[in-house]
Amino acid sequence: MLGSLQKMTTTLAEPVQYQLPVGEQLLPLNDLIGQRLTLRYSGQIFCVHCQKKTSKSFNQGYCYPCFTKLAQCDMCIMKPETCHYAAGTCREPAWGESFCFQPHYVYLANSSGIKVGITRQNQIPTRWIDQGAIQALPIFKVASRHLSGLIEVILAQHISDKTSWQQMLKNHVELLDLKQIRDQLLALCAPELENIEQQFGAESIELLSQAESINISYPVLQYPQKVKSFNFDKDSTVGGVLQGIKGQYLLFDTGVINIRKFSGYEIAVID
């Protein structure tokens, strides 16, 4: 099996079901856990957007021209509170209207500990799985990505908005009462959240007070005690006994690799 990598596709189940896209093919991974698996990098990279060959990958799979011109590669995607659509400087206004001006969720997740995050409506629960969260709870549904970013910044004054991937992979995380944490945050941030509602209108923000948290389990036989990370730019052949999958990481007995980081890399799969 030979082709360009894309991030693993997932299905929420007990445990999460994973497939590895390699070119036009999908490799089911759960049945390979406990077996030897090798990924061999051919030395070629193809842009995930335009499909052209590139000597270097930017922003998880883009060639440099696409990286510099596409709105989806702009910093405001990572920091939506900095959205500049209203200033008329969006790289692709039509794309921004379809991507950013749709319902987004502000959520709590427990991956390496409690964190706040945002995602599009159609990325639930994919976003939580990709982060390796063992629990997640949506707390707000809002009208746009910009608005979700502003709320995230408010909540992030009190809890993290990042995941420690090493701690997540070691599974150094305990179950938490996400509803209790939500209620504490809402109380702490009440004045700022009220200001946001007054600015954008109550119809733009919905508090999901009746939402239930979900638990997520991953197909892992053994978590690593020490995390050694593989890099296709340094190690053209990566593999060993596949001990599990969590987030977008394959966990081998020899080390781990972040599949999403190497989107567009041409890989031969040897199992």
What's the pLDDT score for residue 27?
Answer: 96
Residue 218, pLDDT score: 98
| Residues of the chain below pLDDT 70 | none
pLDDT digits (tens, 9 = 90+) for 170-222: 999 999 999 999 999 999 999 999 999 999 999 999 999 999 999 999 999 99
Q: What's residue 253's pLDDT?
A: 96
- What the block records as the tokens of 83 is 């959205």
pLDDT for the residue numbered 153: 97
pLDDT on residue 60: 94
H or E segment at 57?
Answer: none
- pLDDT at position 117 is 97
C-alpha dihedral, 42 to 256 to 58 to 126, nearest 10°: 110
Tell me what pLDDT residue 123 has: 95
Q: Contacts by 85-90 with C-beta closer than 8 Å and gap 24+?
A: 85/146
Is the Cα torsion angle 233, 250, 77, 149 positive or negative in sign?
A: negative
Q: What is the pTM of this model?
A: 0.94
